[in-house]
């Protein structure tokens, strides 16, 4: 998988927009979009900057494999989905747990909004 696609997948996983990434990386949204599409190659400095905005180690950015994350983080047991974090590196585990907490909070907020309306 090309680095631009990896950046895009992690950005989407974090629920960041291209505008957010561009602003925090100090580049235009068009320039950022070209990075994700592979039209612009990343130098090491820009890659480290983007990794910092994504709150991941640059090595994780380079080695990101979404199939590993999504195929190994859930197991079905008795009709329930159970998280399986044993095979993940600490940074990946922290990232996933943080995202799960964000999504759980969002679900709670949506439920409360539904009850109030």
Tell me the sheet residues that pair with 80.
77
- CATH no. of 3-64: 1.10.260.40
CB distance 36 to 5 below 8 Å: yes
State the Cα–Cα distance between residues 46 and 51, nearest whole angstrom.
Answer: 8
Please report, in tens digits, the pLDDT of each residue of the chain (117 residues total).
688 988 998 899 889 999 999 999 999 999 999 999 999 988 889 999 999 999 888 888 887 776 655 544 444 444 444 455 555 567 777 777 788 888 888 888 888 888 887
User: Domain boundaries in the chain?
Assistant: 3-64, 68-116
Extract the tokens encoding 115: 């009850």
State the Cα–Cα distance between residues 6 and 85, nearest whole angstrom.
Answer: 21
């Amino acid at each position: 998988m090309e680095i631009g696609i990896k950046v895009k997948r992690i950005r989407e996983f974090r629920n960041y927009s291209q505008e957010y990434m561009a602003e925090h990386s100090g580049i235009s949204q068009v320039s950022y979009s070209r990075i994700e599409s592979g039209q612009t190659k990343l130098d090491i400095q820009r890659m480290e900057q983007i990794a910092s905005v994504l709150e991941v180690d640059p090595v994780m950015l380079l080695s990101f494999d979404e199939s590993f994350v999504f195929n190994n983080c859930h197991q079905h047991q008795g009709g329930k989905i159970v998280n399986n974090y044993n095979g993940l590196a600490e940074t990946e585990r922290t990232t996933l747990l943080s995202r799960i907490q964000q999504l759980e909070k969002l679900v709670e907020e949506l439920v409360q909004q539904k009850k109030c309306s």
